[in-house]
Structure 1
Amino acid sequence: MKKLLRFFSLMLLMTIAFTSTLYAQEKKLTGKILDESSGPLPGVNVIVTGTSKGTTTDFEGNFSIVVPENATSLTISYIGFLDQVISINNQSTFTINLKEDAKQLQEVVVVGYGQMEKKDVTGAMSSVKAEDFNQGVMTSPDQLIQGKIAGVQMTPSSGEPGAGVSIRVRGGTSLTASNEPLYVIDGFPIDNRSSDPGTAGVYSNSAPKNPLASINPADIESFDILKDASATAIYGARGANGVIIITTKKGKEGTAKVNYDAYFGVSTISKKLGVLSADEYRSATAAEGTTPLDLGANTDWQDVMTQQAMTQNHNLGVSGGTSNTQYRFSVNYLNQDGIMINSGMERIGGRMNITQKLSDKVTLGANMMGSFTKNNNLPYGVGGALDGGVINNMIRMSPLLPQDYSSANLLEKNPYIMATNVRDFTNTQRVLGNAFIEAEFIEGLKGKINVGGDLTSAKRNAYLPGTIEWVGDGNGNADVRNMNLHNMLFEGTLNYSKTFGNVKLNALAGYTYQSFGFESNSTNATGFQIDEIAEYNLNAASGALIIGSNKESNKLISWIGRANVSIKDKYIFTGTLRADGSSRFGDNNKWGVFPSVSGAWRISQEAFLSNNNVISDLKLRAGWGITGSQEIGNYRSLPTLSGDKVYGAVGIGSGVTYNNYANPDLKWEETSQINIGLDYELFAGKVFGTIDLYQKNTKDLLLELQASQPASVERYLKNVGEVKNQGIELSLNTVNLSKDNFTWQTGIVAAYNKNEVVNIGDYDQILTGAVGGRGQVGQFAQVIKAGLPYGTFYGPKFEGLDESGNAIESEESHVLGQALPKWTLGINNSMTFGKFDFNFFFNGAFGHQVFNNTALEFSSTNDLYGDQTTYNVMKNAVDENIRSTKYNSKFIEDASFLRLSNLTLGYTFNMSEVKYIKNLRLYVSGQNLFVITNYSGYDPEVNSPAAGNQVPPVGIDYNNYPAARTFIGGLSVEF
C-alpha cells in the first residue's frame, strides 16, 4: 500500500515539475462580469482559451487570473448565458456583459417518456450529474449516487464485489412484494431481477449479485430520481417504489474526442471481529482447567482468509459528430479481487450510442451495450450440508489449529480448505439496447417509436471435490445451473408542445407493450472419481443425478397520457393518467388505472419579489397520485402444478401436485401519495435546495392466508393489509467561497421517514427473521404487527447472567428496536485550489438497530471450555463469563453511523503546449476511510440474506462478507 502511494506521489510531483517548464513569463488580468442589466454575476467561469487554467468570479462578479504571456483570449461561460471569447491584446482590466441564453436558462431534466424544463416540473424529483458522482471503485451505477439523494437509502447486502444493493425510495411500501425502484435506462424500463442462478444448498449460498453490476458506471451521464406519485404515476403499476432514470453519455457535435480513464487500487478488511487470539485462548482455557485441541499454532484465521485485494479498471471512450450525426463508443475492463481469498469479479463490456438526423423532421437513434461478467463466488453463507460457510468457520475455528488442519468432523471444517478447494463461478452475458425513430409531423407535434430488448444469460458451475474429508464418501459433488432472462419492449408516443400567448402546453399520449421471460435448469450430480473438470463432465458421475427446470413469462400492456400547462411562467399544472394491464393478476383485476395531479407556483416570478436581492428563485409544489406494484412473481392468481421426484430404496418415483390456489380477485398493491415541496435559490445561486413533506399509504398488501380445508394447498395469496410512510426531505447546496483560484461548495441532503404497518388483515402478528445458529431453531427476530414499523425487532429482554453464566431473560417478548433508519444524511464538500481539486463525502444513518446474529452464535463459552474443543468465541464472552445465551435484546445493537465514504485529491495539468493531449488529471482516492459507530460487527450497513416467515427480514447481520477499505490512484486523459 505504501509503495503504491509513494509511486503516485512521485508521479504527481514529476509531472508538476515537467509541466512547469512549459510556462514562460506570466501576467495578471482582472475584471468584472455583469449580466445584461449590469448586475454582478458570481461563480462565472473564466478560462484561458485552449487550456484548463481558470478561475471563477466572486460575489461581486470580480475575477483575477494570472495567464501566460502568450495567452491571446479568455473564454467566459456561465449557465443560462451565452459563452463569450474575449481577446486580451494589451489589456489587463476588463468589464464584460454576458447575454442570456434562452435555451440554457431552461435547464432540462429527464422525466418519464421525455424531457421537461426543470422550472416546469411540479413533482418531487432529484437529479445528479456526472460531475457530482461518488468517486472511487464503483462496480455498478447505483454506487455513484449513494448518499447523494434525500429520501433514497441504499444498503449493500455485503462487502463482496458485485453484491446486491437494497434501495428504498421514501421507505418500503410492501411486505412481501419487491420494494426496489424501477430503473429506466435511456428510455428502457428494465427488469432488475437478479440473474444469479443460485446453487444447491451444499455449496452454502452467497448473497444475490447486483444485476446493475453488468453496466459500466463510467458510461453514465446523469440520474433523475422520481420520488412522489405525481412524478412516478406515468409508470403506473411499477411506480410505487420510485423510479430511477439513468441517462448514458452521448456524442456531441464537434471534433472527435478520445477519453481514457484508469485506476488501480488496493483494498483491505476495514475491521476485524473481536474473537480470541491464540494467547487469549490458552489463558482462558487454562483458567478453566480444560484441555482444548492444541496443535501448537498461533493462527489468526481472519488474517488467513483475507488479503490485500487488487483492483484495476480501464475505460476508453470516443465521441464526436456533426450537426446530423453524433456518436459515442466506449469499452471497459474491470478486475476486482475480493478481500476474502478466492473471491472477486471481472467484467468486460462495450457501449454504442448513435443519433442520426435523416432530415430536419426525422431522427434515428440507437443505444446498445454488451457485457460479460465473471464472478468468483465465495461460499460464505450459512446452511446446507456444509453446516456453515467460509466466514462462519473462519470465526469459529480455534487459533490453536494450523492453517492446514483437516478433519472429517462436519463441525471442524477448515475455512481455508473450503475457500481454496470449492470451485464456484458464474458467467453472465448481457445485451441491452433500444432503437428509436422520431418524426415531427407538424410544428410542435412529434411522434416516436421506441423498441428494445434486454437479454441475459447466466451459467453457474460449482464443484466440491471428493478430496475434502468432510464430504463423506470421497466422491465429488457438481452443481450446474443456467438462467436466461429476456425483456422485450415496444412503445409508441405522441408529444405536442405549443405556446399560446402566455400559456405553454406540453402533452404526451402513448401505448407501451412489454414482455418478460425467464427460463432455468439445473443439474446436481455426485460420485466423481476425478475432480479436475467434473462440473463440465456430468456423465462421469456414478451417483445420484438430480435435475430441475422452470419457465415463466408475464406481459404488461399500457396506455399513458400526461399534460403540463404553464401560465405566465408562474402557475404550472400537470395531470397524468396511466392504465396498465398485467398478466400477473386475476381475471377480475387485469387492469389498473393510476392517476396523478400536481401544481406549482413560481413565487419568485411575482411582482412583489421582482427586486428582491435575496431570493433568486422560489417555487411551491403540491401533488397527489396513485401508483401500484406488480412485483409478486408470476402465476400467483392461477392454479398451478409442480412435479418432483422421490428417491427411495425401491427406485425413483415421481408425482404432480397443486402448489398454488386460484384467486381471480388478486390485484395490485396500491399506493396513494401526497407531496408538498419548496424549491429555493438565494443570493444569485449561492444557496439553493429543496424541502419536501410527504405521506404515502399502501393498501391491498399481498399476504398469504391459510386456505380453508380441505383444499389442494395450505395457503393462498390475497390482498389484505396496509402500510404507511411519512417524512420530510431536505437538501441544501452552498457556494461557500468563490475567490481567485479557490472555490468551495457544500451539498447536504437529509431525510426523515416514519414507517408504520397499519394492519395485516386477519393476522394478529407475523414473526419473521429466523435466528441462525445452533440451538436457535424456531426463534424469530422480528415481528410484523399493526402500529409498528416494518423490520421491528421483537423478543425477550436481556436481564443479566445467573451465577452459572447463563442468560436471564424476561418471560414476555418486547419491542427491541427497528431496522429502518429514522434519519439518513449525506454531506459533500468540493474544493478547487488552482489546479488542485479536493472532495470529501460523508454519509450516515441514525435511529435504528441491527441484530448481530454472528455475535449471538459465538458468545457462548460452553463452546470454549471443553476437552479437545476446536471452537473460538468472542472476547467479551470470556470477559463477561457468558456460558450460554440465546436470542434476546443483548444482541440488538445500535447501528447509527457516520462514515467518511470518500476522499479524493486530484491535479489537472495545463496541456496548452502539448500537441495531442487536451486534458490530463491525476488523482488519489480513499473509500470507507473510517466509520463512527457503536456497532460491534464488521459494518453497520448490512442486510444479510435470512430466512423469513412470508415477510423477508431486514437489518440482520449473520456471517456477512466484511466491508473493505480501499485506496486507489488514477488518471483521466482527453486526447
Structure 2
Amino acid sequence: MTKNHNLCRRPRIYACCLFFLSISLTLSAQDLLVSGQVTNGQLPISGANVLIKNTNTGVVSDFDGRYTLTARPTDSLQISYLGYTSLTIPIQDRSTINIIMYEDATALGEVRINAGYYSTTDREKTGSIARITTKDIEKQPVNNPLGAMQGYLSGVNIVQNTGVPGGGYDIQIRGRNFINGGTVPLYIIDGVPYGSLSLESADISAGINGADISPLNAINPSNIESIEVLKDADATAIYGARGANGVVLITTKKGKAGATQVTVNLSSTLGQVSHFLDLLKTPEYLQLRREGIINDGRGDRLENPQFNYLYPELKTWSQNRYTDWQKELIGGTAYRNVAQLSVSGGGAQTQFLISGGYQKETTVFPGESNYKKASALSNINHQSSNERLNITMTANYTSEQNQMPRTDLSGVAYRLPPNAPELYTPEGELNWENNTWDNPLATLEEDYNVRINTLLTNVGVAYKLLSKLELKANLGYNTYQLDSYKLLPNTARNPKFGFTPQGYSSITTNNSSRNSWIVEPQLHWKENWKDLDLDVLVGTTFQSQTSEQLVLKGRGFSSNSLLKNIAAANSMEVREADDSDYNYQAFFGRVNLKLKNTYILNLTGRRDGSSRFGPNRQYGNFGAVGAAWIFSEEAFLKTNKILSYGKIRGSYGTTGSDNIGDYKFLNTYNVTGSNYNGTLVLEPTGIFNPLFGWEANKKMEAALELGFLKDRIVINTAWYQNRSSNQLVGIPLAATTGFGSVTGNFDATVENTGLEIDLTSINIRSADFQWKTTFNISVPKNRLVKFPGLETSTFSSDYIIGEPLSIIRLYRSLGVDPQTGIYQFEDYNQDGEITSLDDRNFIEDLAPKFFGGLGNTVTYKNLSLDVFFQFKKQKAFNHLRYASAPGILNNAPSYFYDRWQKAGDIAPLMMATSGGNFSLFPSRFNYSSSNKAFSDASFIRLRNVSLNYNLPKGNNKMAISIYLQGQNLWTVTKFDGPDPEQPSHVALPPLRQITLGTQIGF
C-alpha cells in the first residue's frame, strides 16, 4: 500500500515541477525585444534617453534615432531629450514603439542649465541665467562665440568692432559698472577660466584689428553645446570677485552613448560690405574745393603754376575722372571656406568625441590677405560599472594665422578725392602720379602677420563616497601664445620722401604668452527628507597665471630682403617688456533648500584672495541669497488650465572686482631703452599704494516667470539694480610727485538698473508643421550716483552726477550765421566766449536706450526656416564728428554740397573752406563736438536667416542636410554712416554674408 502510495505521489511532484517550470519559461518568454525610432515628427532625434521606468536600465537613441532594449510587457518607457517634453509610454505587449517628441517652449523641468559649479533647471533656478544652445549657434556663419550671441540674450549687449576676419567684440552684461571702463566678464570654458584680452601690441597693430584680435576666436562655434550667461548676484556670487561684470559659461560638445557616428560639415561663405556711403561726385567735390580756396583768400593760387603741388586734384589730376573708392578699396568679396569632421559614440560606461575643423577666410580689401584657423576638440567620458566614479577629459587646441593689411582701407575709401589717379601704371607698378599723392595700396607693401596657438584642457573627476556624498575635482590648464611681426619697408612710402632701407625700413616683433592652471576640489552632498531637499556644495580654488611679453623694434636694413631677420637691423630697441604673475585662491560654498518643490532658497558665498592687492587687503568676502516661490504648485492653482507655470524669484548679494592689472600697489619701473654713459635707464612708472582693496558690486533683482497653456507661452520679466562702489581709479596727483595718478579706491558709486523681458511661444505644433517665436527686450539705465569732489577733479569734463557714465558733453549748435556763414553756438554761461569746459552742456548718451531680438522658427516636414531680427534704440556720432566743413581735401557725403555761399543764405553747413583759414578752425572743431555731430543710430537688422532641408534617406542610410544661411542681410535705419552699430569712419563695418553648406552623417 505504501509503495503504491509513493508511486502515486511522484507523478504529482513531477507535474508540479513541470507546471512551475512552464510558468517560468512562459514569463521568460514574455520579455520583449522592444525597438523603434525617436523623432520630432519629421527628423530623427539622436541621443535621446530611453529608460525602463523605475529602473536604471536603458539605452540612448543612435544617429538615426533608433533604439532597441529588452523589457517586460507591463513595463513603461521613459523618454527624455534636451529641449523636448519628456514622455512616459506603456509598452502594453508591443515590440515596436515609434516615439514622437514635441519641443517644449522652455522644457522648464527637464533642461539642465549650467550654473558653473552646479546645474539647475529653468523651473528651479533662483538666479538670472540667459542661455543659447547649439541649435541657434550652428545656424549662424560666425567665427567667434560672441558673434552668435548678438541679439539673442536679454541684458547682454554685444557689438562687433570690425568686419576684418579675426576681429573682436565689445560685450556688456547689464551695463557698465566701473569708472575705469572695464566691462569684460569672466569666461569659463568647460570649467576653466579663460583670458579674453589680447596680448597683441599697439606698436604692431595700429591701424588694423590686431590689438582687437579676440582670444575667443580659438573657440570654434561648431564645437559649442551651450553658452550660459550669469547675470544677477545669485548666479554670479559663487564666482566672487570675478563675477562683477557677469560670467559667460561655454560648454563644448561631449560624446554620447550609441553607435559610432561620423559627421561631416562643409560650407562656403561670401561676404561684402552691406552699405556704401553716398559721397560727393567729382564735379561737386572740385567745385567745393575751389570755393573753399577762394573763401580762404587764396584764390590767386589757383592760377599760379608754382602752387600746383598744393592742389593736384585741381591742377594736375584729371578733372573728369571719377572713381568710387569704396568699391575699389573695400568693395571686394570675402570668402570663407569651412570644413568640420567629428566622430562620436561609445557605450553605457565610456563615450568619446573627436572633432577637427579648418577655416580659411579672406577679406574685401585688395590683395591676398587671409585668416586661417585649424581647431581640434577631443573628449572622453567614463563611468565605472558601479556608477561611483566619473571621469571627463576635454582638450581644445586651436592654431590661428592672421595676415591682414596693417592699415584698414575703409577710412581711405571714404576720404579719397573722387578724381584721384589710377592705382597702377600700365606696367603694373604702383602709380605715384609724379609723387602727387599717397597711393593707398602702398600699405599692402607692409606686412602684418600674427600666429596664435591656444590649448585649453580640463579634467573632471567625481567619486561617490556615499550614495549622497560626492567628492569632485576640477583641474584645468590653458596656454595662449601669440607671435606677430610688422614690416615697414621703404617701398610703402611715397618715393618723393627719398626713404631708403637703411634709414626707414623696420620690423617690430611681439612674442607673448599667457599660461594658467586651476585646481578646484569640491564636496557635494544631497539629501532629502519627505518634502525637503537639501543640496550642499563646498570647495576651494587655486589658480595661477603667468604672462610674458617682449616687443622689439629693429630699424635700418641694408636690404628689404633682410627685414624678417631682426638681427640684421642697424639699431634695436625694446618697446615693451613684461613678465607678470597672478595668483588667486578662494573658498566657496552653496546651500540650496527646496520645500515641497515649491519654495526654494539658495545661499552662495565666496572668500577671494588676490595677489593684485597689498598686505592685509588681499582677501574679500562675497555672497548672495536667492529665493523662489513656484506658486503654480499651490493647490488652488494646480487645476488651472490657463496658467501652467508661475514663479516669483528674487536675489540680493555682493560681488567684486580686482580687474586693475598686476603690481599696481607696488613701485614699478620700466627700462626706457635709452642709456646713460652705456648704462640702461630705469624709469618709474607706478607709485606704491598698499591701501587700496576690492571694488564692490551690490546686485538686487526681482523677477516674475509665467507659463501658459502647458508652457506653450512663457514670459519672464526681471527688474534689476546693481550698485558698484569703492571704485578703483587713477586718483590724480600733483605734478611735483612725478606721477599723473595713483591707483586707489574712490568713494564713487555707479548704478545700473533695468528691465528685461523674454518671451517664448509655440504658436503651432502638429505632426508636420511647427512654428515657434522668441522675443527679448532689455531696457537698461546707468547713472553716476555719487562722486565726491567731482567738480574739482580731472573727471569733471567727463561725468555728471545723476547722468550715465556713457554721456558725451557737447556744444549746442545754433546753426549757421546767415551773414557770416560760420557756425554759431549757445553761450551757456553767457560770458561772451565759447569755451570747452563751461559751454559744453548739451548731454547725449552713447549707451542704447533699449535693445533685443525677435526670432521665428518654422518647420514643415524636412524643411525648416529660421529668421532672426535684432533691434536697438541708440544714438551715435555721424560724419560731422570727423569732418564738419565742406571744401576740405577729403571727400564727404553728398549733403555737404548744401552749404552757405553768400550773405542771407539759410543752410545747414558753413561756408566752404580748404582748411587754410585758421580763423575758421575753432568753429569747425566746435561743430564736430556739438549736438549736430550726433544723430539717431537706431536700427532693425535682419541678423540671421537659415534655411535647412533634410534629404530623405536612401538605402545607404546617410543623413544629408543642405543649408543656406545669411548674416547681416538687411538693416532698416536712418543713420547715414557705414553701420549704425559700428559707426566709425575708419574701420571696416560688419559684412553681409551668405553661406551655402551641407552636413552629412553616417
Equivalent residue in structure 2 for 1:503, among 529, 532, 554: 532
The number of residue pairs the alignment matches comes to 862
Contact 1:396–1:858, Cα closer than 8 Å, also in 2: no
Q: Which residue of 1 aligns with 2:317?
A: 294
1:525 maps onto 2:554 in alignment:
yes
Distance apart, 1:205 and its partner CA: 6.8
Q: For residue 573 of structure 1, what is the aligned residue in structure 2?
A: 601
Tell me whether 1:857 sits opposite 2:882 in the alignment.
yes
Equivalent position of 2:696 in the other structure: 670
Residues 1:433 and 2:457 aligned together? yes
The structure 1 residue matched to 2:541, chosen from 498, 506, 512, is 512
Do the aligned residues in 2 keep the contact of 1:198 with 1:481 (CA within 8 Å)? no
User: Given the alignment of the two structures, is residue 892 of structure 1 paired with residue 916 of structure 2, yes or no?
Assistant: no
- CA 1:971–1:331: 2 relative to 1, 3 Å: same
Match of 1:947 in 2: none
Q: Mark the CA change 1:895 to 1:472 in structure 2 (over 3 Å): closer, same or farther.
A: farther
2:599 is aligned with 1:599:
no
1:352 matched to which residue of 2? 378
**In the alignment, residue 697 of structure 1 is paired with which amino acid?**
R
Q: Pick closer, same or farther for the CA change 1:274–1:767 going to 2, 3 Å.
A: farther
What corresponds to 2:423 in structure 1? Answer: 403
Q: Distance in 1 between matches of 2:344 and 2:824?
A: 68
Question: What corresponds to 1:454 in structure 2?
Answer: 478
Contact 1:528 1:542 in 2 (8 A): yes
- Amino acid in structure 1 at the alignment position of 2:85: I
SS in 1 for 2:423: coil
Shift of 1:300: 1.9
2:336 matched to 1:311?
yes
Tell me how far 1:207 sits from its aligned partner: 5.1
SS in 2 for 1:231: helix
Q: What does the per-residue CA deviation read over 1:850-875, in whole Å, with 9 as the maximum and x for residues that have no partner?
A: 123x54333433424xxxxxx42332
| Structure 2 match to 1:81 | 87
Identity %: 26
**Secondary structure, aligned partner of 1:764:** helix
Kept in 2, the 8 Å contact 1:339–1:964? The answer is no
**CA distance, structure 1, for counterparts of residue 601 and residue 591 of structure 2:** 8
Equivalent in 697, 718, 728 of residue 744 of structure 2 = 718
For residues 680 and 714 of structure 1, do their structure 2 counterparts lie closer, same or farther at Cα, with a shift above 3 Å needed?
A: same
Shift of 1:95: 13
Distance 1:414 1:651 in 2: 43
| C-alpha distance in 1 between matches for 2:418 and 2:769 | 54
Match of 1:902 among 944, 951, 959: 944
1:76 and 1:85 in contact (8 A); partners too:
no
Instruction: Name the amino acid aligned to 2:550.
Output: N
Deviation at 1:541, TM superposition (A): 1.9
Q: Deviations over 1:810-835 (max 9, x none)?
A: 33112331111121111000001222
CA RMSD of aligned residues (A): 3.1
Look up the SS of the partner of 1:302 in the other structure: helix
Separation in 2 of the partners of 1:318 and 1:132?
A: 21
Return the offset for 1:921.
Answer: 1.1
Assess if the C-alpha contact under 8 Å between 2:338 and 2:359 holds in 1.
yes
The amino acid across from 2:344 in the alignment is S
Q: 1:326 to 1:410 in 2, by over 3 A?
A: farther
Taking a change above 3 Å as real, the CA distance of residues 292 and 241 of structure 1, as seen in their structure-2 partners, is: farther
Give the aligned residue type for 1:509: V
Do the aligned residues in 1 keep the contact of 2:614 with 2:665 (CA within 8 Å)? yes
Map of 1:784-863 to 2, 5 A cutoff?
784-802=799-817, 803=819, 805-811=821-827, 812-846=839-873, 848-852=874-878, 855-863=880-888
CA deviation profile, 1:494-520 (whole Å, cap 9, x unmatched) = 111111111111110001011111101
Larger Rg: 2
Confirm or deny: 8 A CA contact 2:524 2:537 kept in the other structure: yes
1:338 matched residue in structure 2: 363
Q: Structure 1 residues 613, 634: CA separation in 2 closer, same or farther (over 3 Å shift)?
A: same
Q: Does 1:129 align with 2:133?
A: yes
Structure 1 residue 655, shift from structure 2 partner: 1.7
The aligned residue for residue 269 of structure 1 is 273
Kept in 1, the 8 Å contact 2:162–2:209? The answer is no
Please point out which of 242, 251, 254 is paired with 1:250.
Answer: 254
Residue aligned with 1:915, SS: coil
Instruction: Measure, in 2, the Cα distance between the counterparts of 1:706 and 1:260.
Output: 58
Aligned-partner Cα distance in 2 for 1:255–1:413:
63
Structure-2 separation of matches of 1:151 and 1:283:
49
Which residue, out of 101, 105, 112, partners 1:108? Answer: 112
Going from structure 1 to structure 2, the CA distance change for 1:472 and 1:511 (only over 3 Å counts) comes to: farther
Counterparts in 2 of 1:863 and 1:695: CA distance versus 1, 3 Å? same
Query: For the residues of structure 1 that align with 2:487 and 2:43, how far apart are their CA atoms?
Result: 61
Residue 217 to residue 765, structure 1, CA distance change in 2 (3 Å): farther
Q: Residue in 1 aligned with 2:976? A: 936
| Comparing 123-132 and 200-209, the one that deviates more | 200-209
How far apart are 1:238 and its partner, in Å?
0.7
SS at match of 1:233: helix
Q: Which runs of 5+ in 1 are unaligned?
A: 1-42, 53-71, 381-388, 769-779, 865-870, 943-955
Question: Is 1:967–2:967 an aligned residue pair?
Answer: no
The TM-score normalised by the length of structure 1 is 0.83
Secondary structure of the equivalent of 2:790? coil
Residues 134 and 902 in structure 1, CA contact (< 8 A), matched pair in contact too: no
Q: Secondary structure at the match of 2:212?
A: coil
Query: How far apart in 1 are the matches of 2:981 and 2:490?
Result: 37
Q: C-alpha separation between the residues in 1 aligned to 2:695 and 2:160?
A: 26
Structure 2 Cα separation of the partners of residues 362 and 90 of structure 1:
35
Distance 1:473 1:617, change over 3 A: same
Structure 1 residues 237 and 569: alpha-carbon distance in aligned structure 2, compared to 1, 3 A threshold: same
For residues 243-276 of structure 1, what are the alpha-carbon distances to aligned partners after superposition, in whole Å with 9 as ceiling and x for unaligned? Answer: 1111111111110111111211111111112322
- Which secondary structure state, in structure 2, belongs to the residue aligned with residue 613 of structure 1? coil
| SS state at 2:659 partner | coil
Please report how far the alpha carbon of residue 234 of structure 1 lies from its aligned counterpart in structure 2 after TM superposition: 0.3
Secondary structure of the corresponding residue to residue 199 of structure 1: helix
- 1:283 Cα deviation from its structure 2 partner: 5.2
Could you tell me how far 1:344 is from its partner in structure 2?
4.0
* Structure-2 residue corresponding to 1:370: 397
1:12 paired residue number: none
SS at structure 1 position matched to 2:977:
coil
Question: Does structure 2 conserve the Cα–Cα contact (< 8 Å) formed by 1:765 and 1:784?
Answer: no
SS at structure 1 position matched to 2:217? helix
In structure 2, C-alpha distance between the alignment counterparts of 1:765 and 1:147, rounded to whole Å: 40
Q: CA deviation at 1:708?
A: 5.1
- Residue 492 of structure 1 and its aligned partner are, at CA, apart by 0.4
Distance 1:132 1:390 in 2: 33
Contact 1:397 1:414 in 2 (8 A): no
Q: Structure 1: how far apart are the matches of 2:516 and 2:891?
A: 49
Q: Identify the residue that residue 152 of structure 2 maps to in structure 1.
A: 148
Counterpart residue identity of residue 129, structure 2: M
* Aligned mates of 1:50, 1:783 — CA distance in 2: 56
Secondary structure of the residue aligned to 2:413 is helix
Q: Distance in 1 between matches of 2:149 and 2:868?
A: 11
1:457 is aligned with what amino acid? Q
Contact 1:48-1:75 within 8 A present in 2 as well: no
| Kept after mapping to 2: 8 A contact 1:134/1:146 | no
Question: Match of 1:169?
Answer: 173
Q: 2:955 & 2:792 partners in 1: Cα distance? A: 71
Quote the residue 2:515 is aligned against: 486
Quick check: 2:646–2:706 contact (8 Å CA) kept in 1?
yes
SS in 2 for 1:394: helix
Unmatched 5+ stretches in structure 2:
1-37, 48-67, 69-76, 295-301, 303-313, 425-429, 828-838, 901-909, 914-923
Instruction: Give distance in 2, aligned partners of 1:120 and 1:533.
Output: 65
Residues 186 and 204 of structure 1, relative CA distance in 2, 3 Å threshold = closer
Q: Which residue of 2 aligns with 1:924?
A: 964
Could you tell me whether the CA contact under 8 Å between 2:787 and 2:801 is conserved in 1? yes
What are the superposed Cα offsets for residues 174-221 of structure 1, whole Å, 9 maximum, x if unpaired?
A: 121521111111111212221324434876775511110111000000
- Cα deviation for residue 48 of structure 1 reads 8.3
